[in-house]
Amino acid sequence: MYFAVKFLGCKVSHADAMLARNALLEAGHAEAPEEEAELHVINTCCITGEAEAKSRQSVRRSLKSGAREVYVGGCAVNLRARQFAEIDEAVRPFTGTAEDVAQAMADAQGACVDLEHPPMVGRARGQHLETRSASARTRGFVKVQDGCDCHCAYCIIPTVRGAARSRPAAAVLEEVRTRVRQGQPEVVMTGISVGDYRDRQNGWELGDLMMQAAKVEGVQRVRLSSVEVIHVRDSLIEALREEPKVCPHLHVPMQSGDDDVLQAMGRHYTAQEYKEGIASLREAVPGVNVTTDIIVGFPNEDEAAFERTLELVSEADIGRVHAFSYSPRPGTVAESLGDKVAPEEKKRRSQVLRGLSEVRSRHRRVEKLGGRERVLVDKVAHTQCSGYTPDYTRCYLPADAARAGELVEVSVEELHADGLRVTPV
């Protein structure tokens, strides 16, 4: 069977989709472009109502593209499996943990693919199918933890993911070794509440695990996907400060800069505690790039509360903001609060936040002009190649400057629309 894998949502969804992909490959099936695949595998998302709707749309697009079967798993399926089953008889929902779903999907397929007679791509040109591989990516997402115990008022994820639980460090480090063998020199530690990570056998926290991952032969960089400010503990700060391969970039969700909104959201910190936590991080790790998520239009967010959020973004020296408009999720505590902020006002606040984010991002990039950076190239095209600095600034190089997966020292020449123009030194 030839299959194609898609995912919606966060980096954990991506990691879960790769579990299904690997299970199918190990069972003897082969990956193909979407237009050639008989089976489509989709890992869904339900973080918002829009994400849930997009998950169903993705299933319908797969059916229209000619897929004989569509396997669906992930958060939206765990929440409402029947809605996906009702789309078409060719759709098969799989519920449960990502690991169980991946194995069930592989078991559901019978005979292995006939690798001696692959389908054709671009038949007029006589080109054979090129099976896509994980080695085509230079960055590997390694799920170290799943589930969440925070139970924020607006969030359905603990319902569909369950309680916080950690993978054994030995299993994580073995996956890191596998990623390196696949040509992925940068690994990203990810999880639903990744700061909750604990390996009880070794007594390790998240920072300890990242330090150990950095010691794996062939690893060039270790990143963290997202971490709550209450989980920016001493071991994580030590890893950022002491290990050069641990990247000085943390995505630390703020959600709001107003205490009343934070309390209604069920967040576990005040605006002052967030500010102090980021300040302590910056004192220990000068130059660290902190990015964040913010929800606009929560039911009790008035204009004054929104202004306090803008102030905190500046006071905490946030490098970039991802703004999301609040939408009630059935089954959450916040559903009872209604949806009191008009859509037009949510849109306006999002635009204001994004404008502030662009100003702050540009200011950070201006400070890099004339300096030197190390870029891990992850995209190569005919006109240019690009990659990221350790602090997650996108850099653009001449097309022939480097190969994908190569670490290049560069000189920063000028600003680019969303990054920097650089040249190798």
The CATH number given to whatever domain includes residue 412 is: 2.40.50.140
The CATH number given to whatever domain includes residue 273 is: 3.30.750.200
The Cα 388–Cα 373 span in angstroms is 9
Residue-wise pLDDT tens digits, 392-414:
999 999 998 999 999 999 999 99
Residue 121 has pLDDT above 60, yes or no: no
317 and 331, same structural domain? yes
| Structural domain ending residue among the three candidates 225, 247, 269 | 247
| Structural domain ending residue among the three candidates 227, 247, 267 | 247
Task: Answer whether residue 125 is part of any domain.
Answer: no
| Structural domain ending residue among the three candidates 327, 344, 367 | 367
Task: Answer whether residue 126 is part of any domain.
Answer: no
256 and 352, same structural domain? yes
At residue 140, what is the residue type? Answer: G
pLDDT of the residue at 50: 87
Residue 47 has pLDDT above 80, yes or no: yes
Average pLDDT over residues 130-156: 78
Residue 329 has pLDDT above 50, yes or no: yes
Task: Answer whether residue 131 is part of any domain.
Answer: no
46 and 24, same structural domain? yes
The Cα 42–Cα 19 span in angstroms is 12
Q: Look up residue 28 and give its two tokens.
A: 């003897």
220 and 150, same structural domain? yes
Task: Answer whether residue 312 is part of any domain.
Answer: yes
pLDDT of the residue at 62: 95
pLDDT of the residue at 1: 82
The Cα 350–Cα 296 span in angstroms is 7
Residue-wise pLDDT tens digits, 170-225:
999 999 999 999 899 999 999 999 999 999 999 999 999 999 999 999 999 999 99
Residue-wise pLDDT tens digits, 331-346:
899 999 999 999 999 9
260 and 193, same structural domain? no
> Which backbone phi and psi does 182 adopt, to 5 degrees?
-80, 0
Proportion of the chain above pLDDT 90, given as a percent: 84
Domains: count for the chain? 4
Residue-wise pLDDT tens digits, 10-34:
989 999 999 999 999 999 999 999 9
pLDDT of the residue at 110: 52
Residue 159 has pLDDT above 70, yes or no: yes
Average pLDDT over residues 43-67: 93
273 and 242, same structural domain? no
User: Which of 283, 220, 211 has the alpha carbon at shortest distance from 243?
Assistant: 211
110 and 8, same structural domain? yes
382 and 332, same structural domain? no
Task: Answer whether residue 261 is part of any domain.
Answer: yes
Task: Answer whether residue 132 is part of any domain.
Answer: no
Residue-wise pLDDT tens digits, 299-322:
999 999 999 999 999 999 999 999
407 and 339, same structural domain? no
377 and 291, same structural domain? no
108 and 78, same structural domain? yes
Q: Which domain covers residue 310, as residue numbers?
A: 251-367
93 and 29, same structural domain? yes
pLDDT of the residue at 137: 77
Which pLDDT band holds residue 116 (cuts at 50, 70, 90)?
very low
Residue 113 has pLDDT above 50, yes or no: no
The CATH number given to whatever domain includes residue 149 is: 3.30.750.210
Residue 69 has pLDDT above 60, yes or no: yes
Residue 136 has pLDDT above 90, yes or no: no
Task: Answer whether residue 161 is part of any domain.
Answer: yes
The CATH number given to whatever domain includes residue 93 is: 3.40.50.12160
Task: Answer whether residue 157 is part of any domain.
Answer: yes
Average pLDDT over residues 138-160: 93
pLDDT of the residue at 342: 97
Residue 228 has pLDDT above 60, yes or no: yes
